[in-house]
Amino acid sequence: MWLGLLLACTGTDDSAETAVDPLCVDAPIVTYETFGAGFVEENCQSCHASTSLDRQGAPSFVVFDTVDDVWALDERILQVAVPDPPMMPPQGGTTADDRAKLEIWLTCAEMGT
């Protein structure tokens, strides 16, 4: 019984890992180095850096100092910063092109890059 359950779960995880998101087929390679660092610095760090002088109410657990900080919240970032209009940054202002790159980065890049 338990073994069956375990195997069932493992099988599901494997197929999830190998399935390629349609978004990533023929997508440009986007990483923290080529895009993410600059995007986060320009659009998010004024409120979400640990060194921010005025967080404007940004929660203390939402800090984007490093690539690992960003990946720790990748799902939340996709939800709040990719839609048009985005919920983050609160004042908006990101371009459609940048939001598309953000989605490709956090969906298709190897986690942590």
Binding site for ligand HEC (CB under 6 A): 43-44, 46-48, 56-59, 62, 73, 76-77, 80-81, 88-90
Residue 17, classified by CB atoms within 10 Å of its CB into exposed (0-12), middle (13-18) or buried (19+), is exposed
Using the minimum distance from each CB to ligand HEC, give the nearer residue, 55 or 113. Answer: 55
Residue 31 C-beta: closest distance to ligand HEC, Å: 16
Report d(CA 41, CA 28) in Å as an integer. Answer: 21
Using the minimum distance from each CB to ligand HEC, give the nearer residue, 57 or 85. Answer: 57
Using the minimum distance from each CB to ligand HEC, give the nearer residue, 12 or 56. Answer: 56
Residue 14 C-beta: closest distance to ligand HEC, Å: 29
Residue 54, classified by CB atoms within 10 Å of its CB into exposed (0-12), middle (13-18) or buried (19+), is exposed
